């Protein structure tokens, strides 16, 4: 089975801190994604990547950046965390091509105080 | 991306079939219909997807209306472990699927 691992289950940071959320997948998937999930809003796509060193903005990229230096790892970076970035962050990966299944990690609940 | 409409919540008795509806009246000819579910404290997991014909797998069945403007996810025999939020999603081909707020399914023992 595909495994998508997110480095932390819970994270508490202070306003203004730089935050790194790490995601690693073990099935050699080309595609990787970062979503955030908020009550009443569903999942919203932040950034995605179709290959190493490649990134594309999703629906809500403001305040975030990403890094994909290796195929198996996709990092989400909050340059200066703010309280409105308190959320559940979900990483996913998939094979290339259309309509491939997304495989999700268990999520990181980030609280910014 | 074309959007979907699902009921906010549904209830089912354990061991009975469950029919989860989804309306997608603006679906285009190339949109696939995907279903994912999210169990408590977990990320979403793939359930099933289809284009025009009904689809079956070990988890569920997907019934697609002839005009493709609606579909129904069928769980043949609900268990307590099926309690989750179920998302109906249209994909125009790219992998960046749009997840709405889904249907919260409660299974009653």
Per-residue pLDDT of chain A (113 residues; tens, 9 = 90+): 669 999 899 999 999 999 999 999 999 999 999 999 998 888 999 999 999 989 999 989 999 999 999 999 999 999 999 999 999 999 999 998 777 889 999 999 999 99
Say what the pLDDT of residue B76 is.
94
- CA A52, A54, A60, A66 dihedral sign is positive
- The tens digit of pLDDT for each residue in B24-66 reads 998 888 889 999 999 998 999 999 999 998 999 999 999 999 9
Answer for the pair B7, B72: CB distance below 8 angstroms, yes or no: no
Min distance B23 CA to chain A CA atoms (Å): 17
In terms of CA atoms, which chain A residue is nearest residue B101?
A42
- Show the tokens assigned to B57: 């797998």
pLDDT band at B2 (very low <50, low <70, confident <90, very high): low
Q: How many CB atoms lie within 10 A of CB A55?
A: 18
CA B8 and chain centroid, separation: 12
Chain B residues close to A104, C-beta within 8 Å = 42-45
B55 burial (CB, 10 Å; 0-12 / 13-18 / 19+) is middle
Q: pLDDT value at position A2?
A: 64
Residue B41 zone, left/alpha/beta (φ > 0; ψ -120 to 50; rest): left
User: What does the alpha-carbon distance between residue B63 and residue B20 come to, in Å, rounded to a whole number?
Assistant: 10
B104 vs B95, which has greater pLDDT?
B104
Q: What is the CA radius of gyration of chain B?
A: 13
């Amino acid at each position: 089975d595909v495994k998508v691992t997110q480095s932390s289950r819970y994270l508490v940071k202070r306003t203004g801190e730089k935050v790194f959320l790490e995601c690693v997948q073990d099935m050699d998937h080309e595609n990787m994604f970062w979503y955030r999930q908020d009550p009443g809003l569903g999942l919203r796509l932040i950034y995605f990547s179709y290959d190493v060193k490649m990134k594309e903005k999703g629906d809500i990229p403001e305040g975030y950046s990403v890094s994909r230096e290796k195929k198996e790892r996709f990092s989400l970076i909050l340059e200066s965390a703010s309280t409105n970035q308190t959320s559940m962050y979900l990483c996913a990966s998939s094979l290339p091509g259309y309509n491939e299944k997304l495989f999700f990690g268990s999520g990181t609940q980030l609280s910014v105080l | 991306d074309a959007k979907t409409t699902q009921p906010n919540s549904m209830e089912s008795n354990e061991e009975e079939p469950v029919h989860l509806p989804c309306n997608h009246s603006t679906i285009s000819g190339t949109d696939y219909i995907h279903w994912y579910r999210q169990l408590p404290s977990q990320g979403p997991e793939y359930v099933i997807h289809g284009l025009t014909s009904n689809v079956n797998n070990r988890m569920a069945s997907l019934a697609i209306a002839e005009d493709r403007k609606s579909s129904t996810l069928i769980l043949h025999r609900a268990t307590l472990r099926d309690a989750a939020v179920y998302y109906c999603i249209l994909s125009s081909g790219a992998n960046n699927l749009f997840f709405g707020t889904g249907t919260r399914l409660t299974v009653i023992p």
